[in-house]
Structure formats: structure tokens, C-alpha cells
Amino acid sequence: MTRSMLSFALGLVVLLAAACSAGSSASPSPTLGGTSWTVDSIGGAPVIATSTPTIAFAAGGTVSGTTGCNTYNGSYTVNGSSIKFGPLSMTQMACPDPVAAQERAFSLAISGATSWAIGSDGKLTLSGVAAIVSAPAAK
């Protein structure tokens, strides 16, 4: 009987160890590299449906997209939930109002972003001067 109890106890220890190790593995934190986003709102205001800004983060620390009129590219760095955008280069096409106003708001918001988060809804929020809320881009 002691031999069967020892086998049972050993089996229980192995089972508990497996359960503990499965529960303690941390899920990887989300990263921005290799993701693309379609902007839903800037500073709480919805974007113009026919001139939607986009943001594409490359794994190497570059960012590119459109403001809804002009295209832009530049660099970004992430440290935890902090984000900083380097100087952004932008094409200089004339944009009709209200697209030009949206472009100014987007440019200020992305340049002044200081933090990022992906919510439980899967949306990216860049916060700082004004919040940019974006949904994952359709593939």
C-alpha cells in the first residue's frame, strides 16, 4: 500500500508542477513592429471617411502612412508603453478643407504622442498632445 501511495503522491507532484509552470508563463507583450492601423479618431473627433489616415510600424523602427491626403515616413522608438516619433517627412500636396484641418490635427497628435496601448477591443491608442485611436488595418 505504501508503494501505491508513493506513486500517487509522485503523480500529484508532477501534475501540480505542470499546472504551475503553465500558469506562470507570461504572455508576450504586444509590439508595434509589423503592424498597420487605420485611424478612427483624432482628439476624439472621427476622421473623414473618404480621407482616412493610416499608420504602419515596421519592425526596424520606421513608421509610414498617410494623413488622409499626404504620405509621411520617419522613425519611432518604444520603451515599454512609452513611444517617441522622430522627425516625420511628409509630401506637400495641397489638401482641400476639411482634409487639410484633419492633416494638421493628425500631424500634431502623432508628433506629440508619448504613450501607446492596445485595448481589449484590439484598438491602438496613441496618447499625448491628442489621442489617436486606430483599428487594425484590413489585410
Residue by residue, DSSP assigns 45-79 as EEPPTTS--EEEE-TTSEEEEE-SSSEEEEEEEEE
Total-model pTM = 0.79
Q: Which long-range contacts (CB under 8 A, 24 or more apart) does 11-15 make?
A: none
What value does the mean pLDDT take over residues 101-120?
97
**Domain limits, the chain:** 35-136
Strand partners, 35: 57
pLDDT band (50, 70, 90) for residue 29: low
Compute CA distances 113 → 40, 61, 120, whole Å: 16, 15, 20
Would the pLDDT of 28 be above 90?
A: no
pLDDT band (50, 70, 90) for residue 97: very high
Contact indicator for 126, 65 with CB cutoff of 8 Å:
no
Pick the CATH number of 35-136 from 3.40.50.720, 1.10.645.10, 1.10.10.10, 2.40.128.270: 2.40.128.270
pLDDT band (50, 70, 90) for residue 19: very low
